[in-house]
Structure 1
Amino acid sequence: MLNKEDLIWDKVSIARHKDRPNARFYIENILDEFIELHGDRAFRDDKAIVGGIGKINDYNVTVIGINKGKNTKENIDSNFGMVHPEGYKKALRLMKQAEKFKRPVICFVDTPGAFCGIGAEERGQGHAIAQNLMEMSNLKTPIMSIIIGEGGSGGALALAVADKVYMMENSIYSILSPEGFASILWKDVTKAKKAACAMKITSKDLKEFSIIDDIIKEPENGAHENPEDAAKNIKEYILKDLAELINVDCNELLNDRYDKFRNMGK
């Protein structure tokens, strides 16, 4: 029988599974129509962010996802889901466009964290993330965000300041990776299992702390076992949210979003 550390590490492993459905899969299998848009209009197109406009049933939406690849080439192209500043700027451009045309925003989050290379720092990684946090808190259109795999640090939070925040059952959401936590606290990366247990990073933990709104069920043994069913479960939550949020007065929406994050964890 697995102990608590092993059970939690099992969820970490499933969240990182190489066959786990990525953001592009969910976009293609949840939306009826999708037109991808590219670039931040300043530096380049960051392939770690996939985004554009689409349609789900009768709703026109903007969709933004942090995307990991399904093989080595795709992972290199998408930088293993580690977003550069231009990726967050692309996401913000799409969100501001959604606000202008009154389209709800749907975000899929799956990243070990924002890219921390020299180039990213030179181009203002911290500022890009901070600007997204500020702009999303005041975006005058409904936002929902779903953690579909890893939700690492500010790199994940930059797309998770939303009216509704959900986690897939076997996803994780944390300030940094368990390996990073272990190396900082105990100077020993081999204690990652212990760190994961202490950090309270599972969907169950975060629901109990009121950090997220709800947990989206996955097929048995993880979303990678039946990606289509996982997509169907997410679509049900999205449609429920859209039906509710589009009818909320804009000022009330912003006030509720502000209160949600001010009171988070209380």
Structure 2
Amino acid sequence: MRSYLEFEKPVADLEGKVQELKILAEGGEAVDVEDEISRLQEKADQALTDIYERLSPWQKTLVARHPDRPHALDYIGGLITDFTPLAGDRKFSEDNALIAGFGRFRGQSVAVLGQEKGNDTESRLKRNFGMARPEGYRKAVRIMELADRFDIPVLSFVDTAGAYPGIGAEERGQAEAIARSTSACLDLQVPNVSVVIGEGGSGGAIAIATTNHVAMLEHSIYSVISPEAGASILWRDSTRAQDAATNMKITAQDLQELGVIDEIVSEPIGGAHRAKEIVVDRAGQSVEAALKTYGAMTREDVRKHRKEKFLRIGRQLP
């Protein structure tokens, strides 16, 4: 059964009526309802289009967090062949929130990093809702260093509310692990490409998204802090999350204008969760084009490009 967001209620009502009529038709009712089904479906499609053409930043936040939205494993499964995950940071333990390994992307060897939230209660607990601990970021560093040594590009799928803020994570050096992962991204002499597929939250996202090419799905978000936490700090009122989302410039459209990201990957009408295969393929096209561009550069030029790109952020508009 499809899950609807609060602002999608008009669409939910119309599609609910369509389903009722389809059940009547399947039950062999004498009344011909095909014309009515077509009329209501057309009305529902138009309502969905109208809603998604004028989403507010807060509504985009809700879409980015939609439980049915495709996650890192969906992109890895749809784009990467012969994927071999590697486990552990060789220092403490394995972190299931951050997937890392090697595979092939359209015939080319790639290292893959992905923050996975999980899609049901069991997997969400296993993946810690996509919030990595220090060992996850140290595992990412291990994979990036291997990729650099063997001249293999790095591909990252970003989807996290942020790094895990638990006491144990802080005791094991969460901030230091994030800083070293960010530094490893910057030091790579091979192309690295990232796609923000849902939430790009704080340093937890930056740790694997400091890349030559940063793409964002149309209705994803990327911010230094969640709107709720930002509202709590600015106004001491988490219920003002909608105001924070608007003022923080967290949408793909805002961030492209500010020069923080490089590309927006369009989503199907109604969001990525309504057509997962389509959006996975579109993300793949973006990655393929970026890898082709940066793959033609020398190792030193790749690193220089990345460094200069991030130094420009906040200093001048693109």
Give me the whole-angstrom Cα distance separating, in 2, the residues matched to 1:65 and 1:252: 26
Cα offsets for 1:228-251 (capped at 9, x unmatched): 001000111111112221120111
Shift in CA distance, 18/59, structure 1 to aligned 2, threshold 3 Å: same
Mapped pair 1:227 → 2:227: no
Q: Is the 8 A contact 1:5 1:194 kept in 2?
A: no
Give me the whole-angstrom Cα distance separating, in 2, the residues matched to 1:162 and 1:114: 18
Cα offsets for 1:34-72 (capped at 9, x unmatched): 111111111111000111101112210001001110001
Give me the whole-angstrom Cα distance separating, in 2, the residues matched to 1:231 and 1:12: 20
Mapped pair 1:60 → 2:109: yes
Could you tell me which residue of structure 2 aligns to residue 178 of structure 1? 227
Q: Is the 8 A contact 2:97 2:128 kept in 1?
A: yes
Q: Is the 8 A contact 1:146 1:166 kept in 2?
A: yes
TM-score if structure 1 supplies the norm length?
0.97
Could you tell me which residue of structure 2 aligns to residue 121 of structure 1? 170
Give me the whole-angstrom Cα distance separating, in 1, the residues matched to 2:105 and 2:178: 28
Query: Quick one: which amino acid aligns to residue 50 of structure 1?
Result: I
Could you tell me which residue of structure 2 aligns to residue 236 of structure 1? 285
Identify unmatched segments of 5+ residues in structure 1.
none
RCO higher in 1 or 2 (8 Å CA, sep ≥ 6)?
Answer: 1
206, 223, 227: which is aligned to 2:255? Answer: 206
Query: Quick one: which amino acid aligns to residue 94 of structure 1?
Result: I
Mapped pair 1:135 → 2:164: no
- The CA RMSD over aligned residues, in Å, is 1.5
Could you tell me which residue of structure 1 aligns to residue 121 of structure 2? 72
Give me the whole-angstrom Cα distance separating, in 2, the residues matched to 1:79 and 1:192: 23
Give me the whole-angstrom Cα distance separating, in 2, the residues matched to 1:200 and 1:243: 30
> Is the radius of gyration larger for structure 1 or structure 2?
2
Partner secondary structure for residue 306 of structure 2 = helix
How far residue 33 of structure 1 moved from its aligned partner, in angstroms, is 2.2
43, 52, 58: which is aligned to 1:9? Answer: 58
Give me the whole-angstrom Cα distance separating, in 1, the residues matched to 2:93 and 2:181: 18
Q: Is the 8 A contact 1:5 1:193 kept in 2?
A: no
Identify unmatched segments of 5+ residues in structure 2.
1-49
Give me the whole-angstrom Cα distance separating, in 2, the residues matched to 1:31 and 1:82: 23
Could you tell me which residue of structure 2 aligns to residue 187 of structure 1? 236
Shift in CA distance, 178/59, structure 1 to aligned 2, threshold 3 Å: same
Could you tell me which residue of structure 2 aligns to residue 151 of structure 1? 200
Partner secondary structure for residue 209 of structure 2 = coil
Greater fraction of residues in helix: 2
Give me the whole-angstrom Cα distance separating, in 2, the residues matched to 1:226 and 1:49: 25
Q: Is the 8 A contact 1:6 1:193 kept in 2?
A: no
How far residue 32 of structure 1 moved from its aligned partner, in angstroms, is 2.5
Question: What percent of counterpart residues are identical?
Answer: 44
* Runs of 4+ displaced beyond 3 Å: none
Give me the whole-angstrom Cα distance separating, in 2, the residues matched to 1:70 and 1:138: 34
TM-score if structure 2 supplies the norm length?
0.81
